[in-house]
Structure 1
Amino acid sequence: MEDVQKSQSSIAMPIDRVGVKGLRLPIIVRDRESGIQHTVAQVSLSVDLPAEFKGTHMSRFVEALEHWSGDLDYHSFRTLLDDVVDRLQARSAHVRFVFPYFLRRKSPMSGASGLMDYTCRVDGLLKDGKLIFTLGADVPVMTVCPCSKAISDEGAHSQRAEVRIRTRFNGFLWLEDLIEIGERAGSCPVYSLLKREDEKYVTETAFANPTFVEDVVREAAKGLDEHPQVHWYKVEVESFESIHNHSAFAVIEKNNS
């Protein structure tokens, strides 16, 4: 049958990325406590398209996933990207996995146990045979405003914030490391299950450690600077302000290589 995608484009212009997104796929990720964890990822795959081609072969992205092991680590990720490049006859390929990662957390005073989910992601860009591999985690925390606390006779405004960490690194890096760095950066971590004694502890801990969004992003960046394997990072903190009709945010990006 006629291969329309390989026909000449009426507008001879290269496309940086063309592909598919919104695919769901069961995957296996490394878990520091239990060894492995089964989860489900939202997947996007894309390649570059030369100016002379009208379109790409979308079905081949799905075929590449069908032949992939589903075991998410650096080497299998490289295998998937190599396969996408070969199937699509492309110069570059990009794959993104976004998935919930679960950790069992004990409440700080009662010891009550509950699962916390963290949105994590892996990005891979393979271009001219070189792979850029990025690992990230979005970590919720609680923050208390230092200014509000300083000027108020009673209380201060507090809110949830999100610490979004993206890293490139040498060797192997646990998602737990990124999550712990993010949780340490806020006024206090958040929990899925709290009894009354836990709520008291969380409230008092947070109010004893008020933080601006600037404080949080600097603390997270400091933790990433001190991690021996991380050589590049970008950390963004967004504070979902409780007394404003907007969010506050701060970003630090740094290359330590």
Structure 2
Amino acid sequence: MKDIQNQTDHRRINIKKVGVKTISYPVTVLDKAKTRQNTIATVNMYVNLPHRFKGTHMSRFVEILNQFHGEIGMKSFHQIMARMKERLDAEASHLEMTFLYFLAKERKPDSLNLCHYRCSFIGSFEQEPDLQLKVEIPVVLPLIRQKTSGLPRSMGQWGRAEVTVRLNSFIWIEDLILHIERAIGDEPRQAAGNGQEMLSVETLTRRIAECLSQLAGVGWFSLRVENLGNEYSTFATLESTV
């Protein structure tokens, strides 16, 4: 049978990304307390499509994923991207995995002792592999007395912090989460001590950035803090090389 996808395309138009997305797939991530944690990830797989090819074989993405069944995690991430790049004859490959990471905590009897966090591995492989770890952490703060003109707050859920890091060395996911949560918890106490009546996205963003810059193993980070209101939200973003 003639391979239509590998035939030459004479229009000379590159396509930046082509692939499959929103695949639900079982993955294994490292867990500091229990060694490993099994969870379900939403997987997106892309490659660039050089102008010389008419198309790509979409089924090969799933074939590659199945080759790593039971071994998919941060350790095999580079290998999957390299296999995509080679098998699909692409100049660059891209892989995204978003999953819930569960962390046990000691809490009040009427609260769940198992918290979950939305995490993502985000990778690209052109000349060299580039891997980022993203965590989304809810910001739940003690209620601070507010002025009537202030932005309305939701019930205890002040907002969220989205942190993306490039690592120079290995860091446990839970260590990164707990480090950020300590920074979040310190800020309202410091604000109250300074006589501030409201916590702003700017001050919390700077506080988290200060803590990330002191965390060994982080080479670069991107940060977005969002305060959720009833009618609109406020946010602040920051990016820095450590």
Fold match by TM threshold 0.5:
yes
Structure 2 counterpart of 1:85: 85
Contact 1:187 1:211 in 2 (8 A): no
Which residues of 2 match residues 100-119 of structure 1 at below 5 A? 100-107=100-107, 114-119=113-118
1:135 Cα shift?
0.7
1:70 Cα shift?
3.7
- Number of aligned residue pairs: give it: 233
TM, length-normalised to structure 2? 0.86
Structure 2 counterpart of 1:59: 59
State the Cα deviation string for residues 30-76 of structure 1 (Å, max 9, x = none): 11111110000000011111112111110110000010144344441
CA RMSD of aligned residues (A): 2.7
- Structure 1 residue 254 and structure 2 residue 240: aligned? yes
The percentage of counterpart residues that share the same residue type is: 32
TM, length-normalised to structure 1? 0.81
Q: Structure 2: any 5+ residue segments left out of the alignment?
A: none
Indicate how the Cα distance of structure 1 residues 115 and 74 shifts in structure 2: closer, same or farther if over 3 A, else same.
Answer: closer
1:223 Cα shift?
1.3
State the Cα deviation string for residues 182-215 of structure 1 (Å, max 9, x = none): 32343589xxxxxxxxxxxxxx979958521111
Match of 1:232 among 209, 212, 220: 220
Indicate how the Cα distance of structure 1 residues 104 and 125 shifts in structure 2: closer, same or farther if over 3 A, else same.
Answer: same
**Take 1:112 and 1:237, find their aligned partners in 2: how far apart are those partners?**
25
Indicate how the Cα distance of structure 1 residues 144 and 113 shifts in structure 2: closer, same or farther if over 3 A, else same.
Answer: closer
**Take 1:116 and 1:145, find their aligned partners in 2: how far apart are those partners?**
21
| Letter aligned with residue 3 of structure 1 | D
- Structure 1 residue 222 and structure 2 residue 202: aligned? no
| Letter aligned with residue 36 of structure 1 | R
1:125 Cα shift?
0.7
| Letter aligned with residue 137 of structure 2 | V
Contact 2:27 2:73 in 1 (8 A): no
Match of 1:173 among 171, 174, 180: 171
